A = this chain, B = another copy of it.
Amino acid sequence: MNKLSSSKPTTINDVARAAGVSRQTVTRALNNMPDVSAVTRERVIAAASALNYRPNRAAQGLVRGSKPTIGLVVSDLRNPYYPELASELTRKAGLRGWSVVLCDLGDDPDDAHRRLETVAQRVDAMVGHVAAGEWKGALANTPTVVLDGPSDSAKHAVIAIDYEPGIRAAIDHLKSAGCSRIAMVDAGRAPSIRRQIYRRLLNEYGLQWSPDSELVAPDTHDGGVRAAARLCKQNPQTDAVLAFNDVMAVGMLKGFARADVNVPSDIAVVGIDGLDIGTLVTPELTSIAIDKAKLADIAIELVDALLDGVTPPDERLHRTATHTLAVRESA
């Protein structure tokens, strides 16, 4: 017969009783500590396994002290940006013996808030891209590193992202490839920072711009597919386009393929993020890439500082990252 769910879990005392020893002897036997006779050790191990004993982690953690656990907040793990970041972060965290628990927000805002709260209570610190509102409630009392977010650095650590150098490199590259009519597809009606920089640089470089140079679409693959189609109609003389991110850019590649528009000879395409998926497609995507390994490093450092008692606002909790242009085939 199996133990039923109603029964309390077995504790070290149960094992001690079953093996006929004290509970500190059980501790020694089960944790491979010295000072237990071989026979006693065996007897204890047998009893533990017979009772299906598993030490209570909370109790162990309380007395042994435990390494930090950090919560990684992502808006949607299916957006390939996040796995890359998560991979780096768990790797770097693992080097210090830290754990990472995942908090995938999903689409439903209420749900997202609930998840955020649940995770926030179980970790020592949070890291991630999060909407401004969320920081108020759920994360008010949790040390937090905001990635590229609304930088209320009075309340939490911030890794700001400076898009200027990356976008400048991309436009330099496009110019020297002979492009002169560069469009941009943004992800929202209100001009993003990325779009503002795009405008500023086009102006600085004396490149042609008109309201028609800008499109808006959802920042999804499908949004990109449709934006490409729209761009072909609306502004056929465009010879290059900067997408809000790589996911959209890859969608545009597909959109152009469907419209029989050749990339890069008819139109050059540049994404932002530098994701691995950019190398999966044909042609491979040129992208304004960010170094996720470095981002992860900085995030860990900031968590470390936060856990050490450095409290915002503090200039040590404010860092900035920039991009690098990864030239591949699409531009």
- Residues of chain A having any CB pair with chain B under 8 Å: 2-5, 7, 52, 54, 56-62, 66, 69, 72, 76-78, 80, 82-84, 86-87, 90-91, 94, 97, 99-104, 106, 115, 118-119, 121-122, 124, 141, 143, 221, 250-251, 253-254, 257-258, 276-277, 279-282, 308-311, 314
Is B250 a contact partner of A280 (Cβ separation < 8 A)? Answer: yes
Chain B residues with Cβ below 8 Å from A52 are 309, 311
Query: Nearest CB to that of A256 among chain B residues?
Result: B282
Is B56 a contact partner of A62 (Cβ separation < 8 A)? Answer: yes
Is B57 a contact partner of A308 (Cβ separation < 8 A)? Answer: no
Is A94 a contact partner of B118 (Cβ separation < 8 A)? Answer: yes
CB distance from A256 to the nearest CB of B (A): 9
Is A59 a contact partner of B62 (Cβ separation < 8 A)? Answer: yes
CB distance from A7 to the nearest CB of B (A): 7
Is A90 a contact partner of B78 (Cβ separation < 8 A)? Answer: no
Contacts beyond the supplied A83-B83, A251-B280, A254-B281: 12 A-B pairs with Cβ under 8 Å = A2-B309, A62-B62, A69-B122, A78-B84, A80-B80, A90-B102, A91-B104, A100-B102, A102-B102, A254-B282, A280-B280, A282-B282
Q: Which of B104, B143, B310 contacts A90 (CB 8 A)?
A: B104
CB distance from A176 to the nearest CB of B (A): 26
How long is the Cα–Cα vector from A7 to B66 in the complex, in angstroms? 16
Among A101, A221, A251, A281, max chain B CB count under 10 A is at A101
